[in-house]
Each structure stands twice: as structure tokens, then as C-alpha cells.
Amino acid sequence: MRTKRFRKLIVVQPGRIDRDRVVVSVSDAAEVLLRDWPTPASKTRLAAIEACLAVIRGEKPPRVARQAFIVAAKDARILLGEQI
């Protein structure tokens, strides 16, 4: 599977303060959503997972997953920065 890269990176802090995570692709976003997310029952997290799956299946462009990930990260209060 070819990695679906984002045009601009996202920085989140899903865990410890000294462990920032740079997200540059749909696979990176999916990994954070599935393994490291601090609020597992969040509706925005589930929407971001669904968006990542749609991109992986080729149904949507990567920007859809990126935007859903940003919304979920803001909701979980783990977004440190994004390049616009």
C-alpha cells in the first residue's frame, strides 16, 4: 500500500509531555488514533478513524483524513500545531 501523505504536517502530544508526535501521513494519523489516543470513546476520534479508512480504500483524498484528525486532536486537546 502506498502511503497517503499529507501536504502539511501536524504535531500532537497524545501522551507524555516529552513525547510530541509529528503526523505526516494517513497511516501516521491512523496509528495515533488507534494506539495512542487519550479519549477512546470520542465521536471525533471515531470520525477521524472512518476518514482514514476511506482514504486508505481510495474513496477520499488525504486532506479529508487530515482535517478530521485535526478536529479530533483539538477535541482531545492534544493538538500542538499544524502547518496551514
Measuring CA to CA, which residue among 32, 9, 25, 18 is closest to residue 65?
Answer: 25
Number of domains in the chain: 1
Report pLDDT for 82.
81
Domain span including residue 19: 5-82
CB 32 within 8 A of CB 14: yes
For the chain, 84 residues long, give each residue's pLDDT as a single digit of tens. Answer: 456 899 899 999 988 777 899 999 999 999 999 999 998 889 999 999 999 999 999 999 999 999 999 999 999 999 999 865
Report pLDDT for 1.
46
